[in-house]
Amino acid sequence: MTETPVTLFSHSHFSGDFVPLEEGYTRFLSEFNDAASSVRVAPGYCAVLYEHANEFGGYGASLDLLEDCPDLSVYGFDRKTSYVNVFRAEQNGFVWARGSMRNGEFVHGHWERQRAGGGPAAEPAAPVVSPPVPPRTQPMPTGGGGVIVRDHRGEPQRRPPGTPDSDGVVRDHRSSKIKHVFVLMLENRSFDHMLGFSGITGTDAATGQPTAIDGLTGTESNTYNGVVYPVVRGAPDRAPHDPPHGFPGVIEQLCGEGATYVSGAPFPPIDNSGYVSAYARSHPDLPDGAMRCFTPDQIPVLTALAREFVVCDRWFSSMPGPTEPNRWFVHAGTAGFFDESPTHTEYAKAFSSPWSGIAFSRGTIFDLLEKGGHKWRVYAGDSFPNVAMLKGVSRTFDVDDFDDDFASDVASPSYDAAYTFIEPSYDVFSEYAGGSSHHPLGSVLAGELLIKKTYEALRRSPIWESSMLIITYDEHGGFYDHVAPPTARPTGSIGRKYGFTFDRLGPRVPTIIVSPLIPRNLIDHRRYEHSSIVSTLARLFGLKELTPRSAYTSDVKHLARLEQARTDAPMTLPDPMRGVLAPVARTPFAASAATRPERSLDDDPTGRIAATVLSGLTQHLEVAPPIEHEAIIARVDALRTHGDALAYLKEVDLLVKTARERAGIHRSATVRGHPEPHPAILTAAQLPAATVDGLGANR
């Protein structure tokens, strides 16, 4: 893992809360201001700590460090840092000579030419605190190779003419009027596939200048077997095939036919040339299926929100791979060691006991919120949501029904969840035909209707003025996008299947940020990814950073910058059905049927059937007496077909609903604590916990 240049800690000896800093300037006016008690400085870097901060930089006393400092009180600088400048201590033949006392006078830190043989002009003396310096009246010159670290307001430091642009990390530490964050995560669509032909123009969210989204011109193409396949205007409501989007498929899409990933080697060069080859090999009847893109009139709801609020055209999936690892970046800022979806065996290990599931060594955003005293909720479109696979999220207690509960809950002024995660319905046993997730095999119009319901419920809510809604997609689903994914901050893990080092983002996905505190019709070209959701929640609610990836990911809270909430946001969005009654009404799970009941459970290319079955298993174990657990696990192991699995899950669904009734769980606008359960329901406290990064099971 790449070493962090500088990290500040709230307690001595590198303990307590921490804030990692890249090269550049950071100032603290609220969170972590006057909080640092120890500092780690990576070899080759310098950190200048200032006692105070103003618009143009640091002032007051200062201390420049070229090495770790386990206790700032030694220099009388404990809990005094308001501004930090981080830069490389050797640049262009010069080395940094830090502040020192010479002949009874303080000499400020400065650059000196290296010796002929390399190295500093003199050995560095011990750190010395400078006398107070007056506030600056001009911006500090940019250092550290042009990397810009944003200040507490999320605004870029002023740059001298000629300084190159960079993908600076936007860290917003000011207080905010946003009290409720909602995330609706759909699946499997790329930015170009959904919005590339939207032609949206607006105001640059960073500069305030007129701009347009980075979409399609119509000339983009792939070549396969000597035939050129350009992007095509117009995509079907239901795709005839599900494009490849596992790790090997994405490598080919990004890097071209025949490209492979070699563990430990650099990521192959990206030219986005393999979308057609990856698709055509499995579906030769429609070789350009991945190149077909929607037009604005086909997706009026998503397009209307993109034009009304802010559309992010540099929001990338967190890794070049499938659904589950990318969703876990949303929840945990990491995918653990999963560079592909878990295998059936790994799922079985994770879900082999009650209150178990996928777990991560640093926990999840739900754990972080609970530790900080903030409430959260989950609404799901069906009985077996993906988020319920996480250790610590109980289907029995924590997940409510979107269709039945969401609109009525947010209509109450007592709605108290700081964070709400919303999952669509999937309808996996009918090959997604009745789902609202935007899966390629499902209806896009059904997903549009879900977005419309979510927005309109919030727009009418008494908490609207203090809310933010993030609409995004887990990954690109194998559909074409013309922008090459950039490098990423490594997570520190190595993928257990392909050896992926998690140092590259995946293709762009459509993302829209909705809030009445956001100016109308913005386009944000700054880089984000799914860990930005973790970063936003952590910085919005004053939580410590969760993972190395999320700590170095921009948040979006700075977009909600209006002093007064807008009143001109539409109350309703376009009707995607255009008044025509379409078959998008949800079928009750008890009445659902498998499209191919005889199909083997081993025939599960996306892994979603296995995930659903094993999510059902953990729910079953959660509500059943321990004496029945061995038999329940044996029964699940004996399931062989889709029809068998669906029949089993219908039983589990009924058992969970009964358990909720016995536990006294009912609709409520306020977040429930876990009540005293019926004797058949175990509580997490009754079981010892053992967590492995990626697989967690209570044993």
Average pLDDT over residues 306-315: 96
Considering 505, 528, 559, which residue would you say is the last residue of a domain? 559
Q: Is the pLDDT of residue 355 over 80?
A: no
pLDDT value of residue 687: 32
413 in the Ramachandran plot: left (φ > 0), alpha (ψ -120 to 50) or beta? alpha
- Domain shared by 195 and 82, yes or no: no
- Domain shared by 185 and 116, yes or no: no
Amino acid (one-letter) located at 288 = D
Average pLDDT over residues 397-425: 91
434 lies in some domain: yes
| Helix boundaries (H) for 429-512 | 444-459
Q: Which of 45-59, 510-524, 555-569, 570-584 has the weakest average pLDDT?
A: 570-584
SS3 category, 254:
helix
pLDDT in tens, 608-650: 777 788 778 878 888 888 888 888 888 888 888 888 888 999 8
**Residue 401, beta-bridge partner list:** 380
Considering 512, 540, 559, which residue would you say is the last residue of a domain? 559
pLDDT value of residue 148: 40
Q: Which of 49-58, 135-144, 554-563 has the weakest average pLDDT?
A: 135-144
Cβ(405)–Cβ(379) below 8 Å: yes
Residue found under tokens 């944003």: 150
- In angstroms, rounded to a whole number, what is the distance separating the alpha carbons of residues 22 and 698? 38
Using 50, 70 and 90 to split pLDDT, how confident is the model at 290? very high
Average pLDDT over residues 139-155: 42
pLDDT value of residue 114: 74
pLDDT value of residue 365: 94
pLDDT value of residue 339: 83
Structure token digits, residue 328: 């876990």
661 lies in some domain: no
- Domain shared by 465 and 518, yes or no: yes
- Tell which wins on pLDDT, 575 or 145: 575
pLDDT in tens, 652-665: 888 888 887 777 77
Q: Is the pLDDT of residue 695 over 60?
A: no
Q: Is the pLDDT of residue 92 over 90?
A: no
Amino acid (one-letter) located at 639 = L
Considering 541, 559, 577, which residue would you say is the last residue of a domain? 559
Beta strands in 416-502 (DSSP E): 419-423, 467-473
Using 50, 70 and 90 to split pLDDT, how confident is the model at 194? very high
The percent of residues in the chain predicted with pLDDT above 90, rounded, is 43
Structure token digits, residue 157: 């430091």
pLDDT value of residue 29: 67
Highest mean pLDDT among 122-126, 413-417, 439-443, 597-601 belongs to 413-417
The percent of residues in the chain predicted with pLDDT above 70, rounded, is 85
pLDDT value of residue 393: 84
Residues 6 or more apart from 492 whose CB is under 8 A from it?
Answer: 1, 548
Using 50, 70 and 90 to split pLDDT, how confident is the model at 692? very low
358 lies in some domain: yes
Q: Is the pLDDT of residue 693 over 60?
A: no
pLDDT value of residue 343: 63
Amino acid (one-letter) located at 460 = R
pLDDT value of residue 382: 84
686 lies in some domain: no
- In angstroms, rounded to a whole number, what is the distance separating the alpha carbons of residues 259 and 254? 9
Report residue 56 CA to chain centroid gap.
32
For the chain, the 3-state helix, strand and coil shares in percent, each to the nearest 5, are: 25, 20, 55
Dihedral sign of CA atoms 316, 322, 327, 330 in order:
negative
pLDDT in tens, 587-613: 677 777 888 888 888 777 666 777 788
pLDDT value of residue 181: 97
Q: Is the pLDDT of residue 691 over 50?
A: no
- In angstroms, rounded to a whole number, what is the distance separating the alpha carbons of residues 327 and 335? 8
Average pLDDT over residues 60-72: 94
pLDDT value of residue 606: 67
Cβ(191)–Cβ(253) below 8 Å: no
SS (H, E, C) 552-572: CCCCCHHHCCCCCCCCCCCCC
pLDDT value of residue 156: 40
- Domain shared by 135 and 189, yes or no: no
pLDDT value of residue 618: 77
- Domain shared by 64 and 192, yes or no: no
C-alpha distances (whole Å) from 675 to each of 71, 324, 589, 664, 685 are 45, 30, 26, 8, 13
Highest mean pLDDT among 7-11, 394-398, 616-620 belongs to 7-11
pLDDT value of residue 81: 94
Q: Is the pLDDT of residue 122 over 70?
A: no
- Tell which wins on pLDDT, 164 or 658: 658
| Helix boundaries (H) for 176-245 | 191-195
Average pLDDT over residues 156-177: 53
Using 50, 70 and 90 to split pLDDT, how confident is the model at 186? very high
Highest mean pLDDT among 120-124, 420-424, 490-494, 654-658 belongs to 420-424
State the CATH number of the domain containing residue 38: 2.60.20.10
Residues 6 or more apart from 447 whose CB is under 8 A from it?
Answer: 186, 424, 436, 437, 438
524 lies in some domain: yes
Average pLDDT over residues 496-502: 89
pLDDT value of residue 257: 92
State the CATH number of the domain containing residue 549: 3.40.720.10
Does this model's pTM top 0.85? no
Average pLDDT over residues 498-521: 94
pLDDT value of residue 680: 38
**Residue 87, beta-bridge partner list:** 46
Residue found under tokens 């973790």: 534
Average pLDDT over residues 151-168: 38
- Domain shared by 67 and 188, yes or no: no
627 lies in some domain: no
- In angstroms, rounded to a whole number, what is the distance separating the alpha carbons of residues 616 and 153? 44
232 in the Ramachandran plot: left (φ > 0), alpha (ψ -120 to 50) or beta? beta
- Domain shared by 447 and 338, yes or no: yes
Average pLDDT over residues 211-230: 94
- Domain shared by 357 and 428, yes or no: yes
Highest mean pLDDT among 142-151, 161-170, 513-522, 663-672 belongs to 513-522
- Domain shared by 187 and 107, yes or no: no
535 lies in some domain: yes
What's the structural domain count of the chain? 2
Q: Which of 40-49, 102-111, 245-254, 505-514 has the weakest average pLDDT?
A: 102-111
Q: Is the pLDDT of residue 340 over 90?
A: no
Structure token digits, residue 60: 């007051």
Beta strands in 285-340 (DSSP E): 292-293, 310-312, 315-316
Q: Which of 40-44, 219-223, 295-299, 578-582 has the weakest average pLDDT?
A: 578-582
Using 50, 70 and 90 to split pLDDT, how confident is the model at 158? very low
Using 50, 70 and 90 to split pLDDT, how confident is the model at 385? confident
- Domain shared by 523 and 427, yes or no: yes
Structure token digits, residue 614: 């094993």
Average pLDDT over residues 137-158: 43
Using 50, 70 and 90 to split pLDDT, how confident is the model at 151? very low
Using 50, 70 and 90 to split pLDDT, how confident is the model at 147? very low
pLDDT value of residue 332: 93
- Domain shared by 391 and 433, yes or no: yes
pLDDT in tens, 16-38: 888 888 888 888 866 688 899 99
- Domain shared by 87 and 204, yes or no: no
- In angstroms, rounded to a whole number, what is the distance separating the alpha carbons of residues 484 and 507? 7
Residue 126 sits in which domain range? 6-146
Structure token digits, residue 449: 């209707």
Q: Maximum CA pair distance of the chain?
A: 89
195 lies in some domain: yes
**Quick one: which of 561, 542, 644 has its CA closest to 601?**
644
What torsion do the CA atoms of 583, 586, 592, 593 make, to the nearest 10 degrees? 30
